[in-house]
Amino acid sequence: MPQRAEHGNRAAAGPPPRAVGPRGGEAVRLECEAMAERSRPGGDTDVVVPRTKAEKETKRPSLYRVLLHNDDYTTQEFVDWVLVTVFHHDPESAHRIMLNVHMHGVGVAGIYPFEIAETKAEKTMELAREAEYPLLVTVEPE
């Protein structure tokens, strides 16, 4: 019995007993402060804006012209057909481009990023070779 009396006296005179958490450790007392607001000496509050990384803009790819060159053997109908089939021009604009190639010796079939321009030029040359035409198609930077 005397021990209980001492324990009771100690509790009143000494530090408070420690609180025990659910896993046997000491309970932790958290003090939460508003993280977005900080007080200034003048009594104002300052709002802290979070920093974000600058967004990088994606660079547009370089464009290339696909040029059709005139020759004395490739028919106008074949050039019209290629412009509609490979380059997806409507018949009227395809005919206008074909006449430009015929009159000036060269004409722009389309303007595309390099890989697409190269693919369309190769496809056109392949179709011309299958039809036994010597059509020349080149790709140049815009």
Query: Which pLDDT score is estimated for 53?
Result: 75
Predicted TM-score of the model (pTM)? 0.60
Structural tokens at position 93: 């604009």
- Residue 39, pLDDT > 80, answer no
- Residue 4, pLDDT > 90, answer no
pLDDT class of 22 with cuts at 50, 70, 90: low
Per the CB < 8 A criterion, the answer to whether 27 and 21 are in contact is: yes
Q: Residue 142 has what DSSP assignment? A: -
Q: Which residues fall within 8 angstroms of residue 88, CB to CB, at 6 or more apart?
A: none
Higher pLDDT, 106 or 6: 106
Higher pLDDT, 42 or 31: 42
The model's pLDDT over 88-109, given as tens digits with 9 standing for 90+, comes to: 999 999 999 999 999 999 999 9
Query: Which pLDDT score is estimated for 33?
Result: 46
Q: Looking at the chain, which runs of residues are DSSP E strands?
A: 37-39, 45-47, 63-69, 106-113, 136-141
Structural tokens at position 130: 């299958």
- 63-141 folds as Ribosomal Protein L30; Chain: A, (3.30.1390)
Query: Which pLDDT score is estimated for 18?
Result: 56
Query: Which pLDDT score is estimated for 132?
Result: 96
Query: Which pLDDT score is estimated for 32?
Result: 45
